[in-house]
Amino acid sequence: MIQVLIISSLYSQTQHLRRILLGQAGHIQLCGTADNSVLGMSLIESLHPDVVIMPVHMTFWNPEDLINYLLPRGICPRFVLLSDGSEAVIEGAAAVKVQQLLPDAMPSDAMLLHAVEEAGRLQKHETGAVRPPENEYVQHSLEVMELLMGLVPVGTGSAQQQFGRLHVGSQDCWILLGSQPDGQPGPGLSSDYAALESFFAELTELLRPLGNTDICIYRDQNLCILLAGGQDAEPDWALWAGKINALAAHHALGQMTFDISDVPLPLPQWHNQCRQLLELRKLRFFFSPLCLQPKMAFSYRVPVTQQLLHEKLSALSLSMQDARQLEALAILRELQDMVSHSMSDEVCSFVMTQLTVQMYSLSSSFGVDPAPTPLLGAQRPATVEAMFTICREQMTALFSSIRNLRTTSNSAIDEVCRFVAQNLAEPLTLTVAAEYVHMNPAYLSRVFKKETGQAFNAYVSEQRIRRAKQLLQTKDRIIDIAGNVGFENSKYFSQVFKRRTGMTPQEYRAAMQKEAEL
Give tens-digit pLDDT for 33-54.
Answer: 888 887 788 788 778 899 999 9
CATH of region 2-125, choose from 3.30.1490.190, 3.40.50.300, 3.40.50.2300, 3.30.450.80:
3.40.50.2300
What average pLDDT does this structure show over 144-160? Answer: 39
User: Using 50, 70 and 90 to split pLDDT, how confident is the model at 111?
Assistant: very high
* Domain 407-517: CATH class, spelled out: mainly alpha
* Residue 280, pLDDT score: 56
Higher pLDDT, 149 or 48: 48
Spatial separation of the C-alpha atoms in residues 309 and 339, rounded to whole Å:
9
Annotated domain spans of the chain: 2-125, 141-280, 306-402, 407-517
- Chain center to CA of 508: 69
Higher pLDDT, 517 or 190: 517
User: Using 50, 70 and 90 to split pLDDT, how confident is the model at 374?
Assistant: low
CA dist 150 → 23, 180, 349, 371 (Å): 38, 16, 24, 33
Backbone angles phi, psi at 137, to 5 degrees: -70, 150
* Residue 163, pLDDT score: 33
Q: Is 116 exposed, middle or buried (0-12, 13-18, 19+ CB in 10 A)?
A: buried
Q: In this structure, how many other beta carbons lie within 10 angstroms of the beta carbon of residue 178?
A: 21
* Architecture of the 141-280 domain: 2-Layer Sandwich (3.30)
User: Using 50, 70 and 90 to split pLDDT, how confident is the model at 116?
Assistant: very high
* Terminal-residue alpha carbon distance, the chain: 108
Higher pLDDT, 230 or 455: 455
What average pLDDT does this structure show over 50-65? Answer: 85
Residue 152 pLDDT more than 50?
no
Query: Which range among 120-124, 262-266, 455-459 has the greatest average pLDDT?
Result: 455-459
* Residue 138, pLDDT score: 28
pLDDT-above-90 percentage for the chain: 14
Q: Point out the least confidently predicted range of 227-231, 232-236, 497-501.
A: 227-231
Residue 379 pLDDT more than 80?
no
Taking alpha carbons only, the member of 149, 147, 178, 144 closest to residue 164 is 144
Cβ neighbors of 172 (< 8 A, separation 6 or more) are 228, 229, 230, 264, 265, 266, 267
User: Using 50, 70 and 90 to split pLDDT, how confident is the model at 80?
Assistant: very high
